[in-house]
DNA sequence: AAGCACACCTGCTAGC
DNA sequence: TGCTAGCAGGTGTGCT
């Protein structure tokens, strides 16, 4: 559920309240959240480091690390490093500004970072799909090598409709599968794919290779609009998957969903009941009269 | 070789 | 009312 707009909202919170702080102490209580390189590597990579920047690529958060760069056996490469965070399905980053240790620790808190201003950054994740790791090997834009397979980020690089059209014509898969493919665009997930399809008046089950050029261009515009509005609204917070920002506040874009989570409810455009089907294994919502 | 099924998890809910 | 089976989905892997 956390997709580009939700992760971007968390990024902005980090930018405003965490960037510039130094990590004084790291505690890992959930090994699965640090499974990529292990807790020793995370602690060694973060201890004493300055959190120098907060960027994002797709659904990945990238916190640039400054300050002393320890030559340790876990991060022998010289040059810049970054803390990479992926929230996956249920991960949350929460900032506790009260004196460290004075606020009850929520269930499923797996990593705690004590910062030099007395605040504490916590990683909470009931389903433990999310992860944190420190990596070197950043390219010129500060993107880790492990994320090299991601396509352009709609907010960072923008959406090139011509490129989207070129990619679409070579495929036989569904429009839904195309949109949630992170190599096509980084950051679009099931929810915003459905909302963009509604705005472009295209059914998610359409074969993407069968789309006309004008339809793909319409899709590019729809994606830009939906993602932009969702970011402005602070993302979507659903009933079950309760995404919240750094301060625990929900987003409000769920109040503007046209189709997602609205099965059986009237289409905002024509009143016809919204339908839900499975496309490429994903729950897909659409209006059968407005979308072709 | 692209495209698909499946595993990984826990919390919520629809349906007995 | 209480229980459980099923569903939710991002990504990595493995199979076709």
Q: Which value, to the nearest 10 degrees, does the dihedral of the CA atoms of residues A133, A130, A48, A143 take?
A: 50
Question: Where in chain A does DSSP place strands (E)?
Answer: 23-28, 50-57, 60-66, 81-86, 92-96, 109-115, 120-124, 131-135, 275-279, 282-286
Q: What is the model's pLDDT at position A261?
A: 93
CA atom of A94 to C1′ atom of B3, Å: 37
Identify nearest nucleotide to residue A87 by CA to C1′ distance: C10
Task: Spell out the per-residue pLDDT of chain A, length 292, in tens.
Answer: 899 999 999 999 999 999 999 999 999 999 999 999 999 999 999 999 999 999 999 999 999 999 865 556 666 556 679 999 999 999 999 999 987 667 899 999 999 999 999 999 999 999 999 999 999 888 888 889 889 999 999 999 999 999 999 999 999 999 999 999 999 999 999 999 999 999 999 999 999 999 999 999 999 999 999 999 999 999 999 876 679 999 999 999 999 999 999 999 999 999 999 999 999 989 999 999 999 9
Residue A54 CB-half CA count within 13 A = 17
Catalytic residue among A21, A22, A59, A218: A59
User: Three-state DSSP class for A37?
Assistant: coil
Q: CA separation (Å) from A225 to A2, A174, A291?
A: 18, 22, 17
A170 closest-nt by C1' vs CA = B2
CA-to-C1' span, A270 to B8 (A):
40
* Protein residue at shortest CA distance from C1' of B3: A173
Q: Is the dihedral of CA A212, A217, A221, A227 positive or negative?
A: positive
pLDDT at A70: 58
- Contact between A168 and A178 (Cβ < 8 Å): yes
pTM of the model: 0.95
Q: Which residues have CB under 7 A from strand C?
A: A 1, 3, 58-60, 86, 88-90, 127, 129, 180, 182, 189-191, 282-283
Torsion of CA A11, A15, A20, A25, to 10 degrees: -30
Chain C: nucleotides below 7 Å from protein CB are 7-11
Query: Rounded to whole angstroms, how far apart are CA atoms A130 and A149?
Result: 19
The answer to whether A270 touches A39, Cβ cutoff 8 Å, is no
Q: Name the closest nucleotide to A90, judged by C1' and CA.
A: B10
- Length of chain A counted residue by residue: 292
Q: Is A176 an active-site residue?
A: no
Residue A20 pLDDT:
97
Q: What is the pLDDT of residue A100?
A: 61
């Amino acid at each position: 559920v956390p997709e580009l707009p939700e992760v971007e909202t968390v990024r902005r919170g980090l930018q405003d309240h965490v960037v510039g702080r130094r990590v004084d102490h790291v505690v890992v209580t959930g090994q699965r959240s640090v499974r990529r390189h292990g807790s020793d590597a995370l602690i060694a990579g973060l201890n004493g480091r300055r959190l120098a920047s907060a960027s994002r690529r797709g659904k990945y958060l990238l916190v640039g690390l400054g300050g002393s760069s320890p030559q340790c056996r876990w991060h022998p490469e010289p040059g810049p490093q970054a803390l990479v965070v992926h929230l996956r399905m249920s991960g949350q980053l929460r900032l506790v500004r009260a004196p460290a240790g004075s606020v009850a620790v929520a269930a499923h808190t797996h990593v705690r970072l004590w910062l030099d201003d007395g605040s504490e950054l916590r990683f909470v994740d009931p389903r433990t799909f999310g992860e944190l790791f420190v990596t070197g090997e950043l390219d010129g834009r500060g993107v880790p090598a492990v994320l090299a397979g991601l396509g352009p980020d709609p907010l960072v690089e923008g959406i090139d409709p011509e490129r989207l059209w070129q990619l679409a014509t070579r495929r036989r898969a569904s429009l839904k599968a195309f949109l949630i493919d992170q190599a096509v665009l980084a950051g679009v997930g099931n929810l915003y794919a459905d909302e963009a399809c509604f705005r472009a008046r295209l059914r998610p089950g359409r074969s993407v290779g069968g789309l006309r050029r004008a339809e793909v261009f319409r899709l590019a515009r729809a994606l830009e609009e939906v993602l932009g509005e969702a970011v402005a609204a602070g993302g979507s917070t659903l009933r079950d998957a309760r995404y919240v920002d750094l301060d625990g506040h929900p987003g409000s874009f769920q109040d503007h969903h046209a189709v997602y989570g609205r099965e059986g409810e009237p289409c905002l455009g024509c009143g016809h009941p919204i339908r839900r089907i499975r496309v490429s294994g994903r729950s897909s919502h659409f209006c059968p009269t407005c979308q072709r």
